[in-house]
Amino acid sequence: MTEIIVIAETKDGIISPVTSELVSAAIVLGGNPTVIVPGVNDTAATSGAAISGVSKVIACVGEQFSNYDAAAWASAIDACAPAGVIICAATQNGKDLGSRLAARRAVSVVQDVVAIDGGVLTSPIYSGKAMQNVSLQGDAVVSIRANTFSPSSDGGNAEISVMNQSADLKTAVREMIAKASERLDVAEADIIISGGRGMQDPANFAHLERVADTLGAAVGASRAAVDAWEDISHGMQVGQTGKTVNPSLYIAVGISGAIQHLAGMRTSKYIVAINKDAEAPIFQHADYGIVATWQDALPILESELKALLG
Amino acid sequence: MPEIAVLVKRVPDTNAKIAISGDRVDLSSVKWVMSPYDEFALEAAMMHKESNGGTVTAITLGTPDCDKVLKDAKAIGVDRIVRVWDDSWSDLDSNQVQSALVSALKELSTEVVYCGKSAADTGASSTGPGVAERMGWASVSNIIGIEFEDAGVEVLIPRNIGNARTGVSLPAVISCDKGFCKPRKPNVKGIMMAKRAQVEVLGADIPTSSINIVSHTPPPQKASGQKFEGAGNVPTVVAALRNDANVI
């Protein structure tokens, strides 16, 4: 049987929760995986071994893992990973690394998988306006979107082996320029509240930020808002030419629901739309639609959430 | 004087509706454009030439229908336009696409490749890093800023904690996000030159596919939701999110 290898997603030397979802995906695809945990030391490997369903853990250790360098990471991880189907997280770095691992092994890569059923892998194409269903014929690399599989529980006790694997860096970080704002990135958030042109002025995004702070949510924006106002950065844009998101809850405020925007957020688990235009297309995609101006709705939303969540 | 290449792809306009006919997408009535991020890659390639000299070659992979995006690149000012194709090819997977592009890049003695961070059709973001790996080169993805140096480039890459100012020696593949430059528009002279320009067609030996496309299907439809009139219903929705949906 084909071996399944999961590349653990790590952040600041700690295994990210999505790794447990990748283990679940591996089991659906065909077996208990070997989990490779990259790091400057083997500390994070312990939490990899604790995920139930893992057959073994390989801590891939080297100085190159202090910063993401595509070539060095791919070379070191490839040396640690046995032949088989490799599973990565469909994050920015996970997809990049997966592409390199596939190229290194001269196999194909299937990105952004959102379902696996009977050996058929489903990924959105045309930004989710259609789905592509493929089957693998041999080894491949597969990246899985977050929130696709329930995380495998804790309670595992897999054996850990350590492989020291150094690799030459091809890029050099010269300076880290800290983010101006401490706001959560829409690509990482489990709850997103986004504003569109209906917010009328970029200053009014402060109302969205207050709701976001109550919820621990990220603030996003439509392309129309990003194009219209310099203060609304491209990094906030949700949509086909912005970020594709898959949160548990997406709240669209003053967003009409252009096909471009829908393409970036339609897979959200729950969608709430607040818009004064009862005919806005966004309402066709919302689980809960509220026909109201943001001026009327947001203060009530904020106070209700504060009462509920403190 | 670097040999610069930019990878461009013909994709349906991002506002196009995508229909499914049988078990495949039906693209017979969509409007086709150059993939949006590729416009920024093209601009970065032109800026590189203006700073360091050299030549810019625009490369695409596809049937003669794709010549239009090459002509669009020519109208912007690239020196050469190359299409990689063989009439026996169809439904190429990432392994095949990258092998074909690498074959062309080697033939052109390319030293630096620009591409968009993802294409608007697959959204996969596989080609840039995959091509770099096969060439044995460095790669940086999703860049949001670039400065040109004698033997390399300095790029700005968004990371969780901020932006990393990163030095990259050539040869390298640089995949571009939007926002750091304003793609120039073609002028009349450029458009006239593009009309007369010859597309060079290159073939390649490619491996067999290891992916089988079973079908294309429409996205899953959500059950129709509830719609409320007036802000007075906000508490009802908040309660539903808490008690029914369990998301807050």
Full domain range(s) for residue A243? 191-309
Q: Per residue of chain A (310 residues), what is the pLDDT tens digit?
A: 689 999 999 988 899 999 999 999 999 998 999 999 999 999 999 999 999 999 999 999 999 999 999 999 999 999 999 999 999 999 999 999 999 999 999 999 999 999 999 999 999 999 888 999 999 999 999 999 988 899 999 999 999 999 999 999 999 999 998 876 667 889 878 999 999 999 999 999 999 999 999 999 999 999 999 999 999 988 899 998 888 888 999 999 999 999 889 989 988 999 999 999 999 999 999 999 999 999 999 999 999 999 998 7
Q: Is A79 on the interface with B (CB under 8 A)?
A: no
| Residue A153: both structure tokens together | 């529980």
What are the tens digits of pLDDT across the range B82-99?
999 999 999 999 999 999
**Pairwise CB contact (< 8 Å): A124 & B219:** yes
User: Does B153 score more than 80 pLDDT?
Assistant: yes
Same domain, A18 and A150: yes
Q: Domains in chain B, start-ordered, CATH in brackets?
A: 3-217 (3.40.50.620)
Beta bridge partners of A192: A218, A250
Q: Is A74 on the interface with B (CB under 8 A)?
A: yes
Same domain, A140 and A78: yes
Same domain, A204 and A128: no
Q: Using H for helix, E for strand and C for coil, what is the string for chain A?
A: CCCEEEECCEECCEECCHHHHHHHHHHHHCCCCEEEEEECCCCCHHHHHCECCCCEEEEEECHHHHCCCHHHHHHHHHHHCCCCEEEEECCHHHHHHHHHHHHHCCCEEEEEECEEECCEEEEEEHHHCEEEEEEECCCEEEEECCCCCCCCCECCCCEEEEEECCCCCCEEEEEEEECCCCCCCCCCCCEEEEECHHHCCHHHHHHHHHHHHHHCCEEEECHHHHHHCCCCCHHHEECCCCECCCCCEEEEECCCCCHHHHHHHCCCCEEEEEECCCCCHHHHHCCEEEECCHHHHHHHHHHHHHHHHC
Q: Is B151 on the interface with A (CB under 8 A)?
A: no
Last-in-domain residue among A119, A149, A164: A164
Interface list for A 182-201 with B (CB within 8 A): 185, 188, 191
Same domain, A137 and A14: yes
What are the chain B neighbours of A98 within 8 Å (beta carbons)?
Answer: 126
Same domain, A200 and A144: no
Rg (Cα) of chain B, in Å, rounded?
21
Buried/exposed B175-187: b ≥16 CB within 10 Å, e otherwise: bbbbebbebeebe
Q: Is B116 on the interface with A (CB under 8 A)?
A: no
Same domain, A277 and A139: no
Same domain, A142 and A199: no
Last-in-domain residue among A148, A164, A180: A164
Q: Is the ipTM of this complex over 0.95?
A: no
Round to whole Å and give the CA distance between A21 and A144.
9
**Pairwise CB contact (< 8 Å): A176 & B211:** no
Q: Is B238 on the interface with A (CB under 8 A)?
A: yes
Q: Is B181 on the interface with A (CB under 8 A)?
A: no
Same domain, A32 and A124: yes
Same domain, A101 and A195: no
Q: Assess if residue A169 is contained within a domain.
A: no
Which CATH number is A16's domain given?
Answer: 3.40.50.620
Q: Assess if residue A175 is contained within a domain.
A: no
Q: Assess if residue A17 is contained within a domain.
A: yes
User: Does B61 score more than 90 pLDDT?
Assistant: yes
Same domain, A33 and A159: yes
Q: Assess if residue A177 is contained within a domain.
A: no
Under DSSP, is residue B37 helix (H, G, I), strand (E, B) or coil? helix
Please give, rounded to a whole number of angstroms, the shortest distance from the CA of B109 to a CA of chain A: 20
Q: Assess if residue A111 is contained within a domain.
A: yes
Round to whole Å and give the CA distance between A205 and A274.
14
Q: What is the pLDDT of residue A144?
A: 96
Round to whole Å and give the CA distance between A34 and B247.
32
Which residue matches tokens 């995920």? A51
Please give, rounded to a whole number of angstroms, the shortest distance from the CA of B145 to a CA of chain A: 13
Which residue matches tokens 């091809």? A170
Q: What is the pLDDT of residue A180?
A: 65
The answer to whether B35 and B121 have CB atoms below 8 angstroms apart is: yes
Please give, rounded to a whole number of angstroms, the shortest distance from the CA of B194 to a CA of chain A: 27
Same domain, A274 and A230: yes
Q: Assess if residue A185 is contained within a domain.
A: no
Q: Assess if residue A16 is contained within a domain.
A: yes
Which CATH number is A199's domain given?
Answer: 3.40.50.1220
Last-in-domain residue among A111, A146, A164: A164
The total domain count for chain A is: 2
Under DSSP, is residue B191 helix (H, G, I), strand (E, B) or coil? helix
Q: Assess if residue A101 is contained within a domain.
A: yes
Under DSSP, is residue B59 helix (H, G, I), strand (E, B) or coil? strand
Least confident of A18-27, A241-250, B69-78, B115-124: A241-250
Q: Which of B139, B212, B231 sits opposite A70 (nearest CB)?
A: B139
Same domain, A150 and A195: no
Q: What is the pLDDT of residue A94?
A: 96
Q: How confident is the model at residue B119 (pLDDT cuts 50, 70, 90)?
A: very high
